[in-house]
Chain A
Amino acid sequence: MKKRKLCLVGNGMAGVRCMEEILKLAPDLFDITIFGREPHPNYNRILLSSVLAGDADIRDIVLNDWNWYEQNGITLYTGETVTSIDAEQRNIYTDCGRVESYDDLILATGSLPFMLPLPGIDKEGVIAFRDINDCKTMMEASKTYKKAVVIGGGLLGLEAARGLLNLSMDVSVVHIFDNIMERQLDPVASKLLQSELEKQGIRFLLEKQSAEILGDTRVTGLRFADGTAEEADLIVMAVGIRPNAALAQESGIEVKRGIVVNDYMETNIDHVYAVGECAEHRGTVYGLVAPLFEQGKVLAKRICQMDAAPYEGSTLHTKLKISGVNVFSAGEFMDTSDTRAIRVHDEWEGVYKKVLVRDDQVVGAVLFGDTKDSTRILEMIRTNATISELQRVAILQNLSSSSGASELDYVAAMSSDEIICGCNGVSKGTIVEAIYEHGLNSVEGVKKCTGASRSCGGCKPLVANLLQCVLGDQAQTSNQKEPICTCTTLSRDELVREIQEKCLTSVREVMHVLDWTEPEGCSKCRPAINYYLNMVFPELHEDERESRFVNERMHANIQKDGTYSVVPRMYGGVTSPAELKKIAEVAEKYQVPLVKVTGGQRLDLLGVKKEDLPNVWRDLDMPSGYAYGKAIRTVKTCVGSDFCRFGTQNSIQMGIDIEKAFERLDTPAKIKMAVSGCPRNCAESLIKDIGVVGIDGGWEIYIGGNGGVHAKVAQLLCKVKTNEEVMEWVGAFLQYYRENANYGERTSAWMERIGLSSIQRALENTETRRELNYRIAAALGVLSDPWQDIIQKENIRQLFENVAVNV
């Protein structure tokens, strides 16, 4: 049978998702061609804000990579725009002069950002927030410019603003109404959100109508209708989107606001369909992801000539994707004369929940601060559930009733057709079926197989709970199971167990014995395996230089221009005139462009040429400060009792002792430490992986602090009396972290994952601490200063030299 020719215009989420459905239903029915204007494969547009916020890389958000198109025999033209359709001859024409015929044609042209027609709109630095290119423009602009203004206080505008804030820009959000996100939130939730975002650093200019963009070639500011103005080096327009329906309109297809479709996504022209943001269904144009996927399913069945239930519209719901801010809205959200509300407003915890009820039926909800119930409430709205199914509100519920067990009960009690993944419309039944049929035991597996949690990722915990419900203990370990990289299906724990049980002693052997799909691994797994081997068999495994990241191979920190930075060890941040002279001489001799004091109280020589490194080390004649590695970094100290009139303990000596005891040690991720001589904490001990604080008659040991992207205050591990006990506890904690954390996982993230109390329980036994210290001593025993080693070894020193070929 000859295949039918199916063309898709638009290589975005809605269209490609529909294609996936079609391939699932009838893999051999069609000869498929896809046209995309952007030069990328299909990516997750919803997660662009995460890319901007620095939480994800562009490659992380690709949904279907180039291989997917190839494997499914799809012809893909990217960077090519379809310019017209001849519906009579069934041909389409592109801007590259291509003519393609079709039997069936799907239009999934999405939408275009709406640009306010302001004077000065064409100036440099005025952009929308819609695609990867806009994202790149913003990231680029943040390097040179300081002041960003986002026009539009809706979902997209706020996510753009948060992203720009992460890029260290000053951000103001301009909004024409007095409430932000007024299309999803009631005034109470809106004001709560605004004050939370103001705390994070976003400025709001409300009830401001933009009038003119100021500047010569590049934007310098924005003037408002009331005569005031705001400075701006970058203006991001996020006032809304409009369906991209021009192509359809010019080709004689019926268009109102969007391309008009019936309940089966058919346009008024035979064999032409439309799906997604470009389509108008029963007078509604949807701009959120879940409806697009529901439409795609209906269309897939229709186009494969199978019976399909008609598409009857979607309940709108949305979540704001800003980390640390939980906002959810679904269905109706404004009180009206015929609705009644169930409201909880906990100003103490910053939680606001409102469920709107009409005639005993749940018709909408707004949640702020705590969105755990969002899936359940959405399902109630969808199924027109009555409030009799709602639990009575209890003030200050007992803590134990909100523990993990009740979450499991909740997922167990869900009916099989209840939706778990709202974005992709995946029901509990579908997931359970897939778990049994394909032997799945991980969230990742469920995601790959069913699509659940593939879009916004909000339902991951629910999927994990469901896995545990279905598989019990089998999923227990695999509950958080994520393969360490795409070369293997093994999780970190499984890998370490295999190394121990099979006594594997080289990266090569690990990959060979454990069936790695890439025989030599990748940049993710190679350094990880090398670390685990060193950790399990410190004396047996010979460290593998070629599996180390450049910094740990060169023992210096690579900079953007290919030069390196050199930080010599200064125990406890203490130096001497002689040492300072030596450093100054080296800096002059090798024309080091920048000498800087680091955050960890060290001196950093920046811009050293690769070929100079061994000589710089030789002349410095100081130990490596390991400022480049996943290793013990620095111990920062305050002046302490020797000089300080408040000091209760000798923090300098304690810092030096700790640093000397554990220097050179490899750890899953970098370890920063600090010792303060009194609770005033001048050494900032509470934002370190390990912070030691002197108190009258003893010390407090804090763990899991972090001063970086995800700032976190350290938590108290224990109080001890003597200096020896400090060393014993620090050693035991370090080794416990080395043996249990994932490679690359900082103590703060690790502690968040496993809990402070589990660490305290593990370390409370004296005997366990002794054993841990015994093992850490073994690991330290095989280490020596890498700088001196390289100076001694001619064959390695040679690798730092460039080879000039003279002709």
Chain B
Amino acid sequence: MKLEIMQLEQLPVHTGRVIQVFGHEIALFRLGNGKIRAVENRCPHKGGPLAEGIVSGDYVFCPLHDWKICLADGNVQSPDTGCVKTFQTEIEENRIYIMIEPQEQGERRESLVPEQGLVNQK
């Protein structure tokens, strides 16, 4: 399913944002090269919110313990190991879309309460 998330200008370069959809908490990024990346907002190490990490090239550094994670394939970089779930994204007419299936239930972080919805399904 293809869902519209937000306008491109709502997502500054190198600053992650948190998206909640189908019980997933997703970290959304706009890279220096213009690409949009979406990964599950949970570092495999201690569950750190990746959306708050420093973004460099195709990588994000987890804000809690500095694990380096590739946003393209979700792989944790050595010497640490692990993987986060990634989601396909698209940009059309300055809008960001994400490909996601309703049955993919994510792990919800309890401390974050969903805000009012901003956008609708296309």
Interface of A toward B, CB cutoff 8 Å: 39-41, 43, 58-59, 62, 65-67, 518-523, 526-527, 545-547, 549-550, 553-554, 558, 560-563, 607, 609-611, 798-799, 801-807
- Contact at A62–B79, with CB atoms within 8 Å? yes
In chain B, residues 18-72, which have Cβ atoms closer than 8 Å to a Cβ of chain A? Answer: 18-22, 25, 32, 46-49, 52-57, 61, 63-64, 66, 68
- Contact at A803–B19, with CB atoms within 8 Å? yes
- Contact at B79–A65, with CB atoms within 8 Å? yes
- Contact at B57–A519, with CB atoms within 8 Å? yes
- Contact at A546–B15, with CB atoms within 8 Å? yes
- Contact at A805–B54, with CB atoms within 8 Å? no
Instruction: Tell me the bound Cα distance from A554 to B57 in angstroms.
Output: 22
Instruction: Tell me the bound Cα distance from A724 to B102 in angstroms.
Output: 67
- Contact at B116–A804, with CB atoms within 8 Å? yes
Q: A41-B79, A550-B53 are in contact. Are A560 and B46 (CB under 8 A)?
A: yes
Residues from chain B with a CB closer than 8 A to the CB of A549 are: 54, 63
| Dominant SS among interface residues on chain B | loop
- Contact at A523–B15, with CB atoms within 8 Å? no
- Contact at A802–B56, with CB atoms within 8 Å? no
- Contact at B5–A59, with CB atoms within 8 Å? no
**16 A-B pairs with C-beta separation under 8 A:** A62-B79, A520-B57, A523-B54, A549-B63, A550-B63, A554-B52, A561-B47, A561-B109, A562-B52, A562-B112, A802-B19, A802-B25, A803-B5, A805-B3, A806-B117, A807-B21
Residues from chain B with a CB closer than 8 A to the CB of A67 are: 78
Residues from chain A with a CB closer than 8 A to the CB of B52 are: 550, 553-554, 558, 562
- Contact at B56–A526, with CB atoms within 8 Å? yes
Q: A518-B57, A523-B61 are in contact. Are A803 and B79 (CB under 8 A)?
A: no
Residues from chain B with a CB closer than 8 A to the CB of A520 are: 32, 55-57
Residues from chain B with a CB closer than 8 A to the CB of A59 are: 78-80
How many Å from the CB of A555 to the closest CB on chain B? 12
Instruction: Tell me the bound Cα distance from A806 to B23 in angstroms.
Output: 11
- Contact at B13–A546, with CB atoms within 8 Å? yes
Interface residue tally for chain B (C-beta within 8 Å):
49
Instruction: Tell me the bound Cα distance from A58 to B65 in angstroms.
Output: 12
- Contact at A558–B115, with CB atoms within 8 Å? no
Instruction: Tell me the bound Cα distance from A43 to B78 in angstroms.
Output: 12
- Contact at A802–B12, with CB atoms within 8 Å? no
Residues from chain A with a CB closer than 8 A to the CB of B22 are: 807
Instruction: Tell me the bound Cα distance from A799 to B117 in angstroms.
Output: 15
Task: Check B94 for interface membership: any CB of A closer than 8 A.
Answer: no
How many Å from the CB of B81 to the closest CB on chain A? 7
- Contact at B63–A558, with CB atoms within 8 Å? yes
Residues from chain B with a CB closer than 8 A to the CB of A563 are: 111
Q: A801-B115, A802-B20 are in contact. Are A43 and B5 (CB under 8 A)?
A: no
How many Å from the CB of A87 to the closest CB on chain B? 34
Q: A522-B61, A561-B111, A562-B49 are in contact. Are A807 and B116 (CB under 8 A)?
A: no
Residues from chain A with a CB closer than 8 A to the CB of B19 are: 802-805
Q: Which residue of B lies closest to A40 (CB)?
A: B79
Q: Which residue of B lies closest to A610 (CB)?
A: B112
How many Å from the CB of A659 to the closest CB on chain B? 28
How many Å from the CB of A55 to the closest CB on chain B? 16
Selected from A40, A545, A553, A803, the residue in CB contact (under 8 A) with B17 is A803
Selected from B10, B102, B111, the residue in CB contact (under 8 A) with A562 is B111
Residues from chain A with a CB closer than 8 A to the CB of B111 are: 561-563, 607, 609
- Contact at B48–A802, with CB atoms within 8 Å? no
**Closest A-B pairs by Cβ, 7 of them:** A806-B117, A546-B14, A523-B61, A804-B114, A805-B21, A550-B63, A520-B56
Given contacts A62-B78, A803-B20, 17 further A-B contacts (CB under 8 A): A65-B79, A66-B78, A523-B53, A523-B56, A549-B63, A550-B63, A560-B64, A561-B47, A607-B111, A798-B10, A802-B18, A802-B115, A803-B19, A803-B119, A804-B117, A805-B19, A807-B121
Residues from chain B with a CB closer than 8 A to the CB of A526 are: 54, 56
Residues from chain A with a CB closer than 8 A to the CB of B21 are: 804-805, 807
Instruction: Tell me the bound Cα distance from A798 to B5 in angstroms.
Output: 15
Instruction: Tell me the bound Cα distance from A805 to B22 in angstroms.
Output: 8
Instruction: Tell me the bound Cα distance from A609 to B115 in angstroms.
Output: 12
Complex interface bits, B102-120 against A, C-beta within 8 A gives 1, otherwise 0: 1000000101111111111
Residues from chain A with a CB closer than 8 A to the CB of B15 are: 545-546, 553, 799
- Contact at B18–A609, with CB atoms within 8 Å? no
- Contact at A804–B112, with CB atoms within 8 Å? no
Instruction: Tell me the bound Cα distance from A276 to B112 in angstroms.
Output: 52
Q: A520-B32, A562-B109 are in contact. Are A799 and B12 (CB under 8 A)?
A: yes
Instruction: Tell me the bound Cα distance from A526 to B61 in angstroms.
Output: 12
Instruction: Tell me the bound Cα distance from A94 to B3 in angstroms.
Output: 48
Instruction: Tell me the bound Cα distance from A65 to B68 in angstroms.
Output: 14
Residues from chain B with a CB closer than 8 A to the CB of A518 are: 56-57
Selected from A43, A545, A560, A807, the residue in CB contact (under 8 A) with B79 is A43
How many Å from the CB of B82 to the closest CB on chain A? 11
Task: Check B6 for interface membership: any CB of A closer than 8 A.
Answer: yes
Residues from chain A with a CB closer than 8 A to the CB of B118 are: 803-805
**Of listed B54, B80, B111, B114, residue having the most chain A CB within 10 A:** B54
Residues from chain A with a CB closer than 8 A to the CB of B63 are: 549-550, 558
**Of listed A39, A520, A522, A558, residue having the most chain B CB within 10 A:** A520
Instruction: Tell me the bound Cα distance from A522 to B121 in angstroms.
Output: 36
Instruction: Tell me the bound Cα distance from A798 to B56 in angstroms.
Output: 22
How many Å from the CB of B56 to the closest CB on chain A? 4
How many Å from the CB of A78 to the closest CB on chain B? 10
Instruction: Tell me the bound Cα distance from A39 to B52 in angstroms.
Output: 29
How many Å from the CB of B47 to the closest CB on chain A? 8
- Contact at A523–B120, with CB atoms within 8 Å? no
How many Å from the CB of A628 to the closest CB on chain B? 12
How many Å from the CB of B110 to the closest CB on chain A? 8
Instruction: Tell me the bound Cα distance from A558 to B54 in angstroms.
Output: 14
Residues from chain A with a CB closer than 8 A to the CB of B1 are: 807
Q: A802-B114, A803-B17, A805-B119 are in contact. Are A546 and B78 (CB under 8 A)?
A: no
- Contact at B113–A799, with CB atoms within 8 Å? no
